[in-house]
Structure 1
Amino acid sequence: MEEWYREYRDYAFAIAYRMLGTAADAEDVVQDCFAALQQTPPEEVHNSKAYITRITVNRCLNLLHSARKQRETYVGEWLPEPVGSTAPTDQPEEWAERKSMVSYAFLVLLERLKPLERAVFVLREAFQYEYKEIAELLGLTDSNCRQLYSRSRKRLAQAAPSDGDNRSADDDVQLPPMTPADTPARKRMLERFTAAFMSHDVPSMLELLAEQPVFVSDGGGIVHTVMRPMTVRKGVLALLTSRRVLNRLREAEISTAMLNGEEQLVFRHEGQVAAALCLEFTAEGKHIQGVYLMVNPQKLGYIR
């Protein structure tokens, strides 16, 4: 059991986090998975990886179905939970960790999928399972899995950000990368955004924003914040450059941190993380498409 835990613990967490969007729930699923495995006679486990995958995915599906009802009463908008990650170096193990991460913007995008679509997409796209293997894990047919995967790709392609309006929803459309892309160009955009945000610089912020940006904030009913998504460029611009709205962020200690494998902004009060702001860029990388502000303290615990 200890050997299985060492070998598959991170793998199970990677599946659960992509499925659920919350690190805390993913941790619970992993613990439940190995607790159940401990109660299973070894002779019944013919393929340990497949067995762990099946338990993990099924527990995530159960949670996702119940979460849909819970989110009906969630105060304000619900966003995935950002997690801290290691800054990239030349160490092979750290590059392996980076490759296993999922970018925050893609995690937001995955919220558009229904639970079963999400399960098939994650297993196929992130972990390269064959349709036959997915079908066996989920108790479906190969045909069902192909249809669910195709449907999920189209749904995500339609929602993916772009600087143009010529997006296609065909099966062969290129989705935005699931893995993080912490490039020098992205860092420069982050620096420009930070300078414009801190100085209320309207012209500079206007240059940075895409034609149809979105601003979403998650306070969970615990911290007062903007309750509804802002999807109009003029409105997002006003929010980000106002001298009253979000001003408490400018009064905090601001720094950058690696969140989900990419450099993002973290705000601290008296050394404690008070907020995280994650930016999503258009496919061409020229403009900011999404601004996601996490101020719910229950979703800031995995930032280091």
Structure 2
Amino acid sequence: MDSAAIDRFEAGRDRLASLAYRLLGSAADAEDVVQDAFLRWQAADRERIEVPEAWLTKVVTNLSVDRLRSARARHERAAGDWQPEPLLDGDPMLGPAETFEQRESVSLAVLTLMERLSPVERAAYVLREAFAYPHAEIAGILDITESASQQHLHRARRRIAAGRRTGDGADPAAARRIVEEFLAAAVSGRTERLVEMLTADATLVSDGAGLAGRLLRYDTRERVASFARAGFRPTPAKRRLAGGTPALYVELVNGSPAVLAVVGDRVVGAVAFEVCDGRVAALRGIAAAGRLTRLNEAWRRYAPGAPAVGAW
């Protein structure tokens, strides 16, 4: 393959990776799909490909749909041990963020809600909401009719809307201040203040510091507050598990504030927050090393400000 063909593929790599990440919710899987697409590009009769971008979009979309349909993916999602992989803001894999729909489609909340969709519904939703493809092109990518594309998008929007929280979200600066206050209350053990800062329907999902076989779920304010207080409370055992004394940073992950526990230059855990109507509506704890690989790669290139908690 000549350098011009390689350059053409590399010019669109970030867009393809962003598409695959939105479809799969996993950076590692997205990278594998893009590499598979490169191999197909390498083997293709490129002189017969009229629009390379469209050809590659179709290949990546359908490779991603095949992965979602695979037995391994169905097992992981059915077993309840799957959750989206968090990405540090600024990561090119997060893709376009000019519109509300583009930003929302890559949030951890919506990536989780997309688990309710069939693979084709998910593809139609992502292609339309995040990349603004018209239905005629979506139909061509997915080998369905234009009417079917419209129906898949309608069902996807309805199912995602049914799972969304009602109320107003906070702008990033306001959400960050709320998370910083919540973290301070948790570290100092003020459970009553934590309860006050949670919405009535607050939820928490955690992988149990990466040790639980299934996700842990809590769905009352009192239980969420109790778990958050226990989780953020420093102990010698937690420091041993983390491999040192972490500093706690509040940074943006997938467009929302998250607390990152960092030992040296390594992120050992992340707790992502969803803020609604001035209160914390949801927390998602991720510490499994395999879910933090790309975030760690980005963190090593990142220049953070002062930690919210310097000596945990």
Query: Common fold, TM-score beyond 0.5?
Result: yes
1:204-230 Cα distance to aligned partner (Å, 9 max, x none): 21122111111111259x524884311
- Cα separation, 2, equivalents of 1:20 and 1:243: 29
Is this contact kept in 2: 1:85–1:98, CA < 8 A?
no
> Contact between 1:105 and 1:279, CA under 8 Å: does it hold in 2?
no
1:61-76 correspondence to structure 2 within 5 Å: 61-66=65-70, 67-71=72-76, 74=79
- 1:151 aligns to 2:155 (yes or no): yes
Query: Partners in 1 of 2:65 and 2:144 — Cα distance?
Result: 14
Identify if the C-alpha distance between structure 1 residues 246 and 118 changes in structure 2 by more than 3 Å, giving closer, same or farther. farther
**Match of 1:200, SS?**
coil
8 Å contact kept, 2:207–2:216: no
- Tell me the residue number matched to 1:7: 11
Structure showing greater relative contact order (alpha-carbon pairs closer than 8 Å, 6 or more residues apart): 1
Quickly say closer, same or farther: Cα 1:225–1:192, change in 2 above 3 A.
Answer: farther
Whichever structure has more helix as a proportion of its residues is: 2
Are 1:289 and 2:294 counterparts?
no
Structure 2 letter corresponding to 1:274: V
Q: TM-score scaled to structure 1, two decimals?
A: 0.82
**Structure 2 letter corresponding to 1:26:** A
C-alpha separation in 2, matches of 1:125 and 1:223: 35
1:263 aligned onto 2:294 = no
Aligned partner of residue 82 in structure 1, secondary structure:
coil
Q: Which amino acid aligns with 1:192?
A: E
User: Are 2:27 and 1:23 equivalent residues in the alignment?
Assistant: yes
Letter in 2 for 1:40: A
The letter for the 1-side match of 2:176 is: K
Is residue 210 of structure 2 the alignment partner of residue 218 of structure 1? no
Query: In the alignment, which residue of structure 2 is the partner of 1:228?
Result: 216
Q: Pairwise mapping of residues 73-222 of structure 1 onto structure 2 (< 5 A)? A: 74=79, 77-86=81-90, 99=98, 102-163=106-167, 183-218=172-207
Separation in structure 1 between the aligned mates of residue 81 and residue 204 of structure 2, nearest angstrom: 11
Q: Secondary structure at the match of 1:127?
A: coil
| Equivalent in the alignment of 1:172 | none
**Whole-Å Cα distance in 2 between the matches of residues 227 and 124 of structure 1?**
31
Partner SS, residue 302 of structure 1: helix
Q: Which runs of 5+ in 1 are unaligned?
A: 88-92, 165-175
Q: Aligned partners of 2:67, 2:208: CA distance in 1, in Å? A: 21
The letter of the residue matching 1:39 is A
Superimposed CA distance per residue, residues 110-159 of structure 1 (whole angstroms, 9 cap, x where no aligned partner): 22222111000000110001111101110111111111111111111110
Once the 2 structures are TM-superposed, how far is the Cα of residue 161 of structure 1 from its aligned partner? 1.1
Kept in 2, the 8 Å contact 1:98–1:261? The answer is no
Partner of 2:271: 277
Structure 1 runs, 4 residues or longer, greater than 6 Å off: 243-246
After TM superposition, the structure 1 = structure 2 runs for residues 39-78 of structure 1, keeping only pairs within 5 Å, are: 39-66=43-70, 67-71=72-76, 74=79, 77-78=81-82
Provide the rounded CA distance (Å) in 2 between the counterparts of 1:255 and 1:261. Answer: 15
Under a length normalisation based on structure 2, what TM-score does the superposition of the two structures give? 0.80
Q: Is the 8 A contact 2:76 2:82 kept in 1?
A: yes
Identify which range, 115-124 or 42-51, moves more after superposition: 42-51
Q: Is the 8 A contact 2:205 2:217 kept in 1?
A: yes
Q: Which residue of 2 aligns with 1:170?
A: none
CA RMSD of aligned residues (A): 2.9
